[in-house]
Chain A
Amino acid sequence: MHHAATPPAWVMLAYLVAGVCFIMALRGLSSPQSSQSGNRFGMAGMTLAVVTTLIHYMPIADTENPFAMPDVGMIALILAAIAIGAVIGIVTARRIAMTAMPQLVAAFHSLVGLAAVLVAAAAYLNPEAFGIAGADGIINPVSRVEMGLGSAIGAITFSGSVIAFLKLNGNMSGKPIMLPMRHVINLGTLAAIVALTAYFTQDQSPWVFWTLTALAFLIGFLLIIPIGGADMPVVVSMLNSYSGWAAAAMGFTLQNSAMIITGALVGSSGAILSYIMCRAMNRSFISVIAGGFGGDAAASGEAGAAIDRPWKRGSAEDAAFLMSQAEQVIIVPGYGMAVAQAQHALREMGDLLKAEGVSVKYAIHPVAGRMPGHMNVLLAEANVPYDEVFELEDINSEFARTDVAFVIGANDVTNPAAKTDRSSPIYGMPVLDVEKAKTVLFIKRSMGGVGYAGVDNELFYRDNTMMLLADAKKMVEEIVKSLGSGGH
């Protein structure tokens, strides 16, 4: 069975409609109200793409006979493969805890990457099936480049995402792992991949394709191991982007508009998210990729001296009293809230304060958490209405008019040194102006630890700061108890 390079018009149209549905899926995310219908557009587009492919590329039992019956055994096998995937996917999606969303997304990225490698390999082994080879089995040179790129980007996405998953899931330390000469090794490997892709157009021997793919697996691994846990929002976004480019490259090979449109959408989406994350940390994309940020050694003698500075400690009762007397409280959550799973207790605290007539708002820094939008999902899970949750630029001016800023599990994103101390590693990073509030309540496990940037936080020693030293969830629960007893 030899398919012409161009499928019939109805097939092409169906793929185009699928592509448009995917655009609508992303368009829906412009507001929470339209997001659910957007997601349904996405599902419809995917169904259309899959059904069209199944019908047009129906496996035939006897390829010599144009009137042959479909190969029922193979169709059953394909449907079984879809069913297996469906069960694993749906069960995982139902069971996953919202705090584990970054790991899940990384795991999903790795699957897209591996699927791209498998498709590229299948196209390499059976180019006739994809209509990219002449009768003599010679693959078009342009298709070879597309195939090589698809396989390489897919492999990088796969191995990079596996490392990101292991770091996010805690199977591997979040600390950067620095190999000696890593920049030389990485650049050499990248150059070899580019050279092999170019050489692949001249020589389609198996060793070229497989070496190229193997090197790409290696570079994905090498690229991610030196990147620290706190830079994960950038890494996850970047891998998101790569999974899109891999799909687009395979779309070129297959001349499939649905794949190309989707690949371009996902590729741009990941790239924009990476840009937003880098901007929110005032770091260049190159410096994140070069890795090494957030090591242990960053805190120098300066921080050691700082520990002796005086600071104030408060109790849950003090916090409950201060907040119940306030007109407005702004809650600033960070990764520590996710780790402690404190979002539900926090919402309860917010409800009790609102019952006492206090205005309660939430302020989210773009890089709070381990992936873009991580805090928003956790607050939504705890039933915090999304119109009480504000982005940095929308709420920063309000701290000056706020009685209490309640910082829970965030650290560097509140550090005033980012605005004033030129020598600080986080200088220039946009931060939440929590110190402008009348009182800052800062939950922290102990005074010893520092944030991911390894810098001490000036905020702890301010006159208007009260440190609440405890596990975030326990502290909030105690505040809730204290507020509930109404002893004030």
Chain B
Amino acid sequence: MDFISILSIFVLACFVGYYVVWQVTPALHTPLMAVTNAISSVIIVGALIAAAAAGQEGAKWLGLLGVVLASINIFGGFAVTARMLAMYKKKERR
């Protein structure tokens, strides 16, 4: 992909992010932070590529450490978000 295509994806995604995030109800701002934490750990893709690539030993180990850190975040982030969201309940109608 050339730089301009990538930049286009980025700019459009910023706009999507802007409109989607303003729609988030303030009551869920803490889960929003927890889930954005989890998804930003998609950086694990880079760590996996570095760990799997042949050649440079140092890069492999940095990659593996990156995989551990990003995994903590992915599993921890989604789990804690799920735990919080499960607590939000509506009033029982009588």
To the question of whether A and B form a pair in one complex, the answer is yes
Query: A181 contacts which chain B residues (CB < 8 A)?
Result: none
| Given A42-B38, A111-B70, A265-B13 contact (CB < 8 Å) | yes
Q: Which residues of chain A (42-84) have a CB below 8 Å from chain B?
A: 42-43, 45-46, 49-50, 53-54, 57-60, 63, 74, 77-78, 81-84
* A162 → B minimal CB distance (Å): 13
User: Contact between B14 and A268 (Cβ–Cβ < 8 Å)?
Assistant: yes
| Given A261-B13, A385-B89, A115-B79 contact (CB < 8 Å) | no
- Interface 1/0 per residue, A109-151 and B, CB below 8 Å: 1011011101101110110111000000000001000000000
Secondary structure dominating the interface of B: helix
Bound complex: CA A129 to CA B60 (Å): 10
Total interface residues on B, CB under 8 Å, equals 82
Query: Which of A43, A84, A244 is in CB contact (< 8 Å) with B36?
Result: A244
User: Contact between A29 and B24 (Cβ–Cβ < 8 Å)?
Assistant: yes
Name the CB-closest residue of B to A265.
B17
Assess whether A273 is interfacial by the CB under 8 Å rule: yes
Total interface residues on A, CB under 8 Å, equals 120
User: Contact between A247 and B16 (Cβ–Cβ < 8 Å)?
Assistant: no
Query: A59 contacts which chain B residues (CB < 8 A)?
Result: 51-54
User: Contact between B50 and A123 (Cβ–Cβ < 8 Å)?
Assistant: yes
Query: A373 contacts which chain B residues (CB < 8 A)?
Result: 26-33
User: Contact between B86 and A381 (Cβ–Cβ < 8 Å)?
Assistant: no
User: Residue among A63, A105, A276, A374 with the most chain B CB within 10 A?
Assistant: A105
User: Contact between B20 and A265 (Cβ–Cβ < 8 Å)?
Assistant: yes
Assess whether A188 is interfacial by the CB under 8 Å rule: no
User: Contact between A36 and B28 (Cβ–Cβ < 8 Å)?
Assistant: no
* A232 → B minimal CB distance (Å): 12
Q: Which residues of chain B (72-92) have a CB below 8 Å from chain A?
A: 72-92
Secondary structure dominating the interface of A: helix
Bound complex: CA A116 to CA B45 (Å): 11
| Given A59-B52, A111-B69, A89-B76 contact (CB < 8 Å) | yes
A-B contacts at CB below 8 angstroms, number: 387
- Interface 1/0 per residue, A247-274 and B, CB below 8 Å: 1101111111111111111111110110
| Given A85-B69, A89-B71, A377-B24 contact (CB < 8 Å) | no
* B79 → A minimal CB distance (Å): 4
Assess whether A463 is interfacial by the CB under 8 Å rule: no
| Given A27-B20, A108-B77, A264-B16, A115-B88 contact (CB < 8 Å) | no
Bound complex: CA A388 to CA B26 (Å): 14
* B52 → A minimal CB distance (Å): 4
* A439 → B minimal CB distance (Å): 26
Bound complex: CA A86 to CA B34 (Å): 16
Q: Which residues of chain B (53-75) have a CB below 8 Å from chain A?
A: 53-56, 58-60, 62-75
User: Contact between A46 and B33 (Cβ–Cβ < 8 Å)?
Assistant: no
Assess whether A199 is interfacial by the CB under 8 Å rule: no
* A46 → B minimal CB distance (Å): 6
Assess whether A386 is interfacial by the CB under 8 Å rule: yes
| Given A29-B25, A266-B36, A383-B89, A112-B43 contact (CB < 8 Å) | yes
Assess whether A407 is interfacial by the CB under 8 Å rule: no
| Given A112-B73, A269-B21, A23-B16 contact (CB < 8 Å) | yes
Assess whether A202 is interfacial by the CB under 8 Å rule: no
| Given A27-B20, A46-B78, A35-B48 contact (CB < 8 Å) | no
Name the CB-closest residue of B to A354.
B91
Query: A118 contacts which chain B residues (CB < 8 A)?
Result: 47, 50, 62-63, 65-66, 69
Assess whether A194 is interfacial by the CB under 8 Å rule: no
* B67 → A minimal CB distance (Å): 4
Assess whether A179 is interfacial by the CB under 8 Å rule: no
| Given A119-B43, A243-B37, A126-B50 contact (CB < 8 Å) | yes
Query: Which of A93, A243, A268 is in CB contact (< 8 Å) with B80?
Result: A93
Query: Which of B21, B30, B54, B60 is in CB contact (< 8 Å) with A376?
Result: B30
User: Contact between A380 and B76 (Cβ–Cβ < 8 Å)?
Assistant: no
* A121 → B minimal CB distance (Å): 5
| Given A46-B78, A59-B52, A272-B18, A82-B30 contact (CB < 8 Å) | no
Bound complex: CA A366 to CA B25 (Å): 12
Bound complex: CA A27 to CA B26 (Å): 13
Bound complex: CA A118 to CA B81 (Å): 26
User: Contact between A254 and B49 (Cβ–Cβ < 8 Å)?
Assistant: yes
Query: A396 contacts which chain B residues (CB < 8 A)?
Result: none
User: Contact between B56 and A126 (Cβ–Cβ < 8 Å)?
Assistant: yes
User: Contact between A119 and B66 (Cβ–Cβ < 8 Å)?
Assistant: yes
Query: A43 contacts which chain B residues (CB < 8 A)?
Result: 78
Q: Can you give 26 contacting A-B residue pairs, CB < 8 Å?
A: A35-B85, A45-B42, A46-B38, A78-B51, A82-B71, A88-B75, A89-B72, A89-B74, A90-B76, A101-B30, A104-B34, A105-B37, A108-B77, A111-B72, A114-B69, A116-B43, A118-B47, A119-B43, A142-B3, A248-B10, A252-B3, A252-B10, A256-B46, A372-B29, A377-B31, A391-B26
